[in-house]
Structure 1
């Protein structure tokens, strides 16, 4: 068997999406590669088909060599995130003293909801949206209330205003769980949109918790805006992580960030929550944010190429599929309603084409007839996947 060596780490300037062969990827033991049989091309869960960025691999190797595998401590992760935010988004308002480490973004969201809401309170989401929003909120004994996106897959403010009004009239502590950039559509909310969100939330007494896990992943020409940076966002709570942009889901760590008006809320976070993140995870995430910028830029260029490739392939092989290349994330939201394959085209593509995609149905209202495709793979895999999807419909 071929050895996996540190030579497989991706150089800063090289497209990391072109570094690993399909044979190498199939040796992985993670969820993406072990859920389906070997004849299936997996383009579903949000894992990227890339080697680690060299700064991350070096930091982990050094830690293991030192036996530095104990409990996490300090604020290095938050400091690195603040430096990254200042450089990438011109945001100097990420105050390290208003942060806390949490196990990951979804568990961090749960902890933030505990701080600003009570059992039975409504949690408003923009559907179609990341399925764990429904699962985690429901398990927390809060009620999910949907505020569907508009036909353009952006926030529909008429709908949001109405939902905020109804939620505030029936409960004392409603929360808006915002996904930014939005998963699965890849929408990158503008500063004007986020400012309007903050104004509506203030008018109706709704607290805002923001999942900003995909923040570093934006297409050329797009600009991510942190919610806490906009006027009125001061009492918001944000969750950020390096996990999506550098493929570190298996190295658990995230940062909860409070705006100035939410500092007292975050201060009530139980101390034991900070025991959940992995020390090696924090080392990896810190290295990514501090030293992985050039590598990230190469990834973003590769993702831009893949968005263009997917659009061309769909036009050639599946012209009935609706696709607008997204401004953010490495995900593609495909409208398959004109294919005649029912509410769950992902089942058809898997059964007849041996391509695993995410079904749109678990994303809530508006997901029927859609599939989510993971673009963070090689051009060759994307090409074969679309050809298989087309053959599944013949």
Structure 2
């Protein structure tokens, strides 16, 4: 096996997805590269095959040189996100005083749900959706009410209103856990759609908690709209983080953001929650948002190219797969129902093709026959993955 690579940062303005070879990636010890045997090509969990953005790596190195590895404090992270939101999304409404640092987005969601609901209160989700929504809600004793997405992967408002009606009956405190942009489809909700969500939530007295972790990862010409920026969303609670866009999942930190009418709820967040985030994580996320824009732009260009590449490869080698390139995220949601591989094609791709992708079944109702593919890797690995997946059809 090769010695450990010396590179820790990507080249300036280069596509970060072209920096690492498969041999170097297999030196990693994280979940993506250690869950399966070495003959399996992993295109599943949300880790990117990139080196760190130089400003992020430098901020970490500077902190280590100072021994600055204590407890997090201050508002630098929130200030950096507010500037990023203003520059990237034209949103001036992120009020630093209505934010709190939480360990990560999912644990932040848990804490927000504790603030606005109790055990037994239902949580509405738009399935198919990020599997931890189901896992964490079960652990919290919150029953899930599914409001399936429509045929085009957009919010079905008739289904949503029906779920809200069920969630608010009998004095229950229903919550809508909105994924925006949506995982796994990569759909970017429009301002009009989000405004309708806010109107419907007020009508049924349902609180909205929104996971906006993928917000910085947009395809060309896509426009992200923060939920708290739309009229009527003042009682909403949002969770944001730099972890997905800059590959910082191992450096724990996220921000909870309250709308004006939810400020009192956020003020009740227990003080001990702030002990969970990593100070090094806060440093890294702040540097990413403040100084990592050039690196992010290079990444977004590489992801656009990978989406086009995947579409071309599937059309050539697996025409039975239906694929619509996503507006956001670095994920591809593939409809494999036409391949005759049953409800769990991911199991076939793994066993016979030695490619690990996420089973659609894990994403709830509507996921049978689908797989989720992680496109945050090199074009060579995407090409090899499609070759292997196509081989199971021979």
TM-score, length of structure 1 as denominator length: 0.99
Aligned partners of 1:8 and 1:2: how far apart in 2? 14
Aligned partners of 1:171 and 1:131: how far apart in 2? 28
What is the aligned partner in structure 2 of residue 94 from structure 1? 94
What is the aligned partner in structure 2 of residue 130 from structure 1? 130
What is the aligned partner in structure 2 of residue 340 from structure 1? 340
1:3 Cα deviation (Å)?
A: 4.0
Asked if the contact 2:253–2:281 (Cα under 8 Å) also holds between the matched residues in 1, the reply is yes
What is the aligned partner in structure 1 of residue 320 from structure 2? 320
1:291 Cα deviation (Å)?
A: 0.2
1:163 Cα deviation (Å)?
A: 1.1
What is the aligned partner in structure 1 of residue 297 from structure 2? 297
1:10 Cα deviation (Å)?
A: 1.0
Aligned partners of 1:140 and 1:51: how far apart in 2? 36
Asked if the contact 2:43–2:357 (Cα under 8 Å) also holds between the matched residues in 1, the reply is yes
What is the aligned partner in structure 1 of residue 25 from structure 2? 25
Gaps of 5+ in 2: none
RMSD: 0.7
TM-score, length of structure 2 as denominator length: 0.99
After superposing on structure 2, the runs of 4+ consecutive aligned residues of structure 1 that deviate more than 4 Å are none
1:2 Cα deviation (Å)?
A: 3.3
Aligned partners of 2:271 and 2:11: how far apart in 1? 38
Alignment deviations for residues 295-351 of structure 1 (CA, whole Å, 9 cap, x no partner) = 000000000000000000000000000100000000000000010000000000000
Asked if the contact 1:218–1:300 (Cα under 8 Å) also holds between the matched residues in 2, the reply is yes
What is the aligned partner in structure 2 of residue 216 from structure 1? 216
What is the aligned partner in structure 2 of residue 366 from structure 1? 366
Query: Per the alignment, in what secondary structure is the counterpart of residue 176 of structure 1?
Result: strand
What is the aligned partner in structure 1 of residue 241 from structure 2? 241
Aligned partners of 2:193 and 2:13: how far apart in 1? 34
1:2-151 superposed matches below 5 A: 2-5=3-6, 7-151=7-151
Aligned partners of 1:145 and 1:188: how far apart in 2? 22
Aligned partners of 2:272 and 2:45: how far apart in 1? 30
Query: Per the alignment, in what secondary structure is the counterpart of residue 46 of structure 2?
Result: coil
Alignment deviations for residues 19-52 of structure 1 (CA, whole Å, 9 cap, x no partner) = 0000000000000000000000000000000000
Aligned partners of 2:110 and 2:104: how far apart in 1? 10
Please state if 1:250 is matched with 2:257. no
What is the aligned partner in structure 2 of residue 377 from structure 1? 377
Gaps of 5+ in 1: none
Aligned partners of 1:291 and 1:349: how far apart in 2? 39
1:12 Cα deviation (Å)?
A: 3.5
